[in-house]
A and B are shown apart, each in its own frame.
Chain A
Amino acid sequence: MIKPTLASLIAVSVLTLSGCGEKAQTLGTKNDATAYSGVSNAFLEKDWQVGDKTSWERQLNARAQYGQNDHTRSP
């Protein structure tokens, strides 16, 4: 009589503990990666060093000047 009781106790314990295996529900937003950490797809511009913040800033500033400041191209 003892053995089945012990077995059922273990089974109940396993079932109860399985509830602890749920996904963590954290409050708040997820941590976002920095923009200068780049992307791993084919759309990445090759003119800057991924992971280098200074290089990324220089790339965006150069792009802003070239693409948006038409006075530098036609004075």
Chain B
Amino acid sequence: MARMKFICDAERCIECNGCVTACKNEHEVPWGVNRRRVVTLNDGVPGEKSISVACMHCSDAPCMAVCPVNCFYKTDEGVVLHDKDVCIGCGYCSYACPFGAPQFPSQGTFGVRGKMDKCTFCAGGPEANGSQAEFEKYGRNRLAEGKLPACAEMCSTKALLAGDGDVVADIFRNRVVKRNKGAEVWGWGTAYGSAQAGQKPQAEGVKK
């Protein structure tokens, strides 16, 4: 199996926030924490695009790199998880993450951050699979139940895809071929320009 990945198809996302609601309900995420959010680019302008964003389970995760207590670990499937018993709530991961995935509950006394909370790709945490302790700290462990993340499975337009990177990429590629547009997955190339995103590649040595 390849690595577990999310892809959001911006051509299909209708900003319904069903993924956000599914996540909050499935894991009983506390107030003040959104493991997943829908971001709309050029909101109100014709041609606006929306994408659903959560932890991208990076191959070289910056949160893991900056954590002073090494509370992060990665599963064999490439899911980035953390141990709340080790987390000290310093917030470094929150500053390091480009997607704003690590979040902190805001109900603590005197502004105490508490333990960091993030998307687990519905893979729970280091407690026993499917146990009450795991649920209370990290939410449901759907992967161990033989299911995919709730956000993707609940997506009404199937804009949000989750699962084995090869399978998900194949589904997305098939869509692009059928509709003949919308190949640009929102990422580095879309943000900074690439031939795939429909922008002309700059000639080398040309000064502007």
Q: Which residues of A contact B (CB under 8 A)?
A: 28-41, 43-45, 47-48, 56-57, 59-61, 63-65, 67-71
Minimal Cβ-Cβ distance residue in B for A43:
B145
- For chain B, the count of residues having a C-beta within 8 Å of the partner chain is 42
A32 to chain B, nearest CB (A): 4
Which parts of B103-136 form the interface with A (CB within 8 Å)?
123, 125-130
**Interchain CB contact under 8 A, B164 and A44:** no
Minimal Cβ-Cβ distance residue in B for A38:
B144
Bound: A70/B85 CA distance, A? 41
Minimal Cβ-Cβ distance residue in B for A70:
B158
Residue pairs across A and B with Cβ atoms less than 8 A apart, 30 shown, are A28-B86, A29-B70, A30-B85, A30-B126, A30-B127, A31-B126, A33-B129, A33-B144, A36-B144, A37-B144, A38-B130, A39-B145, A43-B130, A43-B145, A44-B145, A45-B145, A45-B147, A56-B146, A60-B163, A60-B164, A61-B164, A63-B146, A63-B148, A64-B161, A64-B163, A64-B164, A65-B167, A65-B171, A68-B153, A68-B171
Bound: A61/B4 CA distance, A? 11
A-B contact count (CB 8 A): 108
**Most A Cβ at <10 Å: residue of B71, B83, B127, B145:** B145
One digit per residue, 1 when the CB lies within 8 angstroms of any chain A CB and 0 when it does not, for chain B 75-92 equals 111000111011000000
Q: Which residues of B contact A (CB under 8 A)?
A: 1, 70-73, 75-77, 81-83, 85-86, 123, 125-130, 140-148, 152-153, 158, 161-164, 167-168, 171, 174-175, 178
Q: Which of B75, B125, B148 contacts A64 (CB under 8 A)?
A: B148
Bound: A38/B1 CA distance, A? 17
B4 to chain A, nearest CB (A): 9
With contact pairs A43-B140, A57-B164 given, residues A71 and B175 touching in the complex (Cβ less than 8 Å): yes
A10 to chain B, nearest CB (A): 37
B162 to chain A, nearest CB (A): 8
Q: Which residues of A contact B143 (CB under 8 A)?
A: 35, 60
Q: Which residues of A contact B142 (CB under 8 A)?
A: 43
With contact pairs A32-B75, A32-B81 given, residues A39 and B147 touching in the complex (Cβ less than 8 Å): no
**Most A Cβ at <10 Å: residue of B1, B75, B144, B171:** B144
Q: Which of A37, A44, A68, A70 contacts B152 (CB under 8 A)?
A: A68
Q: Which residues of A contact B126 (CB under 8 A)?
A: 29-32
Minimal Cβ-Cβ distance residue in A for B70:
A28
**Interchain CB contact under 8 A, B178 and A71:** yes
Bound: A67/B178 CA distance, A? 18
Bound: A60/B144 CA distance, A? 10
Minimal Cβ-Cβ distance residue in A for B1:
A57
